[in-house]
Structure 1
């Protein structure tokens, strides 16, 4: 596939995400957080920040901005700085999560901490066993996460 066609398909997918979260945010929140709670409020804030990030990326309109931030549909390699291991993950919508293929929901504890993270950034992820230091060593938007 031609690189410019792939880039335009990616832009189209991001626009669809932006429209979806604008028009269906309440229904999405009701589906995953039917009762008003701290988790629902935090997710609503996350979606607001994510929408702003999408608007910025679409405004910048460059492949570097598209592949420089973890988005729904991004594939990344995480380097675990404490033990030197690495693992690849793809961030997807909740209904597409597949832990056997390392497709993790952006609503999962790890997915929500990685959403909007930056390429080459170093982060401390809160996990049940404590905190893990990771670096996003590789990042590419694959627009594999459909609504």
Structure 2
């Protein structure tokens, strides 16, 4: 498959995400997040920033933009600062999450923290045992950002 076709397919998928969040965000968040209004508000704010980022990426229409930050549908390689261990995750919609494939929901605690991170940047993530430093080693948009249920 040539790069132009991949870029077109990826752009279509990102546009579909924009439309979905524009039309369904409130219902979607109620479906996946408990009645905790604080948690829903946080996810809503993150998704508002996310959709603004998507609009910018779509307007640029460049493959490099697709891999500039972690999106829903991205495979991200991170390196733990304390021991150098590397791990890959693919960020997906909740209905596609599959731990056996390292596909994690963007609404999971780790998924929300990874969403919109940038390559070669170091972040401090909150984990059950405290805080952990991670560096984003690589980001690849893998076309796993579909919204079909």
Find the counterpart in structure 2 of residue 100 from structure 1: 100
TM-score normalized with structure 2 length: 0.95
Offset of residue 123 of structure 1: 0.6
Query: Equivalents in 1 of 2:40, 2:33: separation in Å?
Result: 6
Return the alpha-carbon distance in structure 1 between the equivalents of residues 134 and 30 of structure 2: 32
Unaligned runs of 5+ in 1: none
Q: CA deviation at 1:61?
A: 1.7
Q: Per the alignment, in what secondary structure is the counterpart of residue 24 of structure 1?
A: helix
Matched residue count: 147
CA distance in structure 2 between the aligned counterparts of 1:107 and 1:88, rounded to whole angstroms: 17
Could you list the per-position Cα deviations for residues 28-63 of structure 1 after superposition, in whole angstroms to 9, with x for gaps in the alignment? 012113535100111111111110010111122211
- 1:52 partnered with 2:45: no
- TM-score normalised to the size of structure 1? 0.96
Report matched runs for 1:1-147 at 5 Å.
Answer: 1-33=1-33, 35=35, 37-147=37-147
Q: State the 4+ residue runs in structure 1 displaced beyond 6 angstroms.
A: none
Q: Describe the SS at the equivalent of 1:59.
A: helix
Contact in 2 for aligned 1:69/1:116 (Cα 8 Å): yes
CA–CA distance in structure 1, aligned partners of residues 30 and 132 of structure 2 = 31
Offset at 1:107? Answer: 0.5
Q: CA deviation at 1:98?
A: 0.8
Does the 8 A contact of 1:96 with 1:145 survive in 2? no
3-state SS of paired residue (1:146): coil
- Cα distance between partner residues in 1 of 2:66 and 2:96: 21
CA deviations on 1:94-143 (whole Å, 9 max, x unpaired) are 11111111101000111000100011111111101111111111111011
Q: Which structure 2 segments of 5+ residues have no match?
A: none
Q: Whole-Å Cα distance in 1 between the matches of residues 88 and 29 of structure 2?
A: 28
